């Protein structure tokens, strides 16, 4: 896993190459909505893209993490199928439903049943390098979502230069990123991490939680500000030294959201062992996103080391899939 994280900037370069060289057969049209369906490491990129397009698209962009698509999906919908393995059963079922309602479908996968189904139905299918854990391939899959949206005329290609800038940033900041990650991992060791962010980086917060779950083999939770100010903040009532809060921050967070973050810190510090703040680096949204992803990925593997855990192993998920296969 460390090698995969170390090579993340290279992955982004390869992802750009894959996207730029792919020739789409799907014709542009006036879509009523966009639905990305995918789970886990294949779906979280969609959630981050959803944050990105929030103020850019004039049509809804929905991320679906279920066996079933929303009932509004029809021939006027663009459905992006994201499954790194190509065999995710929930995503396969949703894809079959999209075919049935004659939605426009574009697939992103490394192969499997989804690639075969795409070939059978003459669908665009961007094929990624195979053989890696899906969560370690977010750079490949998320970048292709942006290329799909651009090819369908929904966003500009400005993300390409932003990702190139992100690659340069990650390479330049490599040493400091690892130093920050080690420092935060030490603070989180033996604790329950609680992650907060503003709305623009909620997908990043979810990604961080997922990496702590899968790589570090730890429970963790996250919430978003201001929503948590209307519910979870009341739950901060009992002192517990096993909790450590991490706040993901950006100087462009809405000013009143930043005010809330500062007030929240005053409340939380009475009850939690510690509060850490991670500030973004870079100018563009994508520089900041990939900086956060790279930094928090390192945190998760350093925690795995401290806990003497194999960051790659996911035996319990394999067990779950095996039991499901018997039914």
Report long-range pairs for 177-184 (Cβ below 8 Å, ≥24 apart): 177/291, 177/294, 177/295, 177/298, 178/298, 180/278, 180/295, 181/295, 181/296, 181/298, 181/299, 181/302, 182/298, 182/302, 184/246, 184/276, 184/278, 184/299
The reply to whether 230 belongs to the active site is yes
Residue 222 falls in the annotated catalytic set: no
Q: Is the peptide bond before 261 cis (omega within 30 degrees of 0)?
A: no
Among the options 96, 116, 252, 321, which is catalytic? 321
Tokens of 107: 């697939």
Cα separation, 192 vs 226, in Å, equals 22
Q: Which residues sit opposite 145 in a β-bridge?
A: none
CA gap 235, 43 in Å, rounded: 29
CA distances to 29, 105, 154 from 78, rounded to whole Å, are: 9, 6, 11
Given 23, 230, 315, 327, which residue is catalytic?
230
8-21 and 158-172 helices, crossing angle to 10°: 160
Residue count of the chain: 327
Sign (positive/negative) of CA torsion 321, 322, 325, 327?
negative
Instruction: Tell me, yes or no, if 14 is annotated catalytic.
Output: no
> Residues 90, 115, 214, 281: which is the catalytic one?
214
Strand order in the sheet with 221-224: 221-224, 192-197, 240-249, 272-279
The tokens of 324 are what? 């499901």
φ and ψ at 72, to 5 degrees? -80, -10
C-alpha span between 322 and 133 (Å, rounded): 18
The residues assigned a catalytic role are 214, 230, 321
């Amino acid at each position: 896993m460390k090698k995969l994280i170390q090579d993340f900037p290279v992955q982004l370069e390869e992802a750009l190459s894959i996207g730029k060289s792919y020739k789409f057969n799907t014709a542009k049209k006036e879509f009523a909505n966009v639905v990305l369906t995918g789970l886990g490491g294949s779906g979280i990129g969609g959630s981050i893209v959803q944050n990105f397009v929030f103020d850019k698209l004039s049509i809804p962009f929905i991320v679906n993490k279920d066996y079933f698509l929303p009932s509004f999906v029809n021939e006027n919908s663009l459905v992006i199928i994201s499954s790194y393995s190509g065999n995710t059963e929930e995503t396969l079922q949703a894809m079959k439903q999209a075919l049935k309602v004659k939605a426009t479908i574009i697939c992103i996968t490394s192969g499997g049943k989804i690639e075969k189904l795409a070939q059978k139905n003459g669908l665009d299918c961007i094929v990624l390098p195979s053989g890696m854990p899906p969560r370690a391939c977010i750079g490949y899959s998320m970048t292709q979502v942006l290329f799909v949206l651009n090819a369908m005329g929904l966003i500009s290609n400005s993300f390409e230069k932003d990702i190139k800038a992100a690659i340069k940033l990650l390479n330049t900041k490599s040493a400091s990123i690892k130093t920050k990650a080690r420092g935060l991992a030490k603070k989180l060791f033996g604790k329950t991490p609680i992650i907060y962010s503003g709305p623009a980086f909620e997908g990043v917060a979810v990604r961080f939680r997922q990496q702590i779950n899968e790589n570090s083999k730890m429970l963790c939770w996250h919430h978003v500000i201001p929503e948590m100010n209307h519910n979870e903040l009341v739950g901060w009532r009992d002192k517990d030294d096993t909790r450590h809060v991490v706040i993901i921050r950006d100087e462009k967070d809405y000013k009143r959201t930043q005010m809330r973050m500062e007030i929240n810190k005053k409340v939380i510090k009475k009850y939690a062992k510690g509060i850490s703040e991670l500030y973004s680096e870079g100018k563009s949204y994508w520089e900041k996103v990939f900086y956060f992803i790279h930094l928090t990925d390192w945190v998760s593997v350093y925690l795995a080391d401290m806990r003497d855990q194999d960051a790659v192993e996911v035996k319990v998920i394999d067990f779950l899939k095996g039991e499901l296969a018997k039914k």
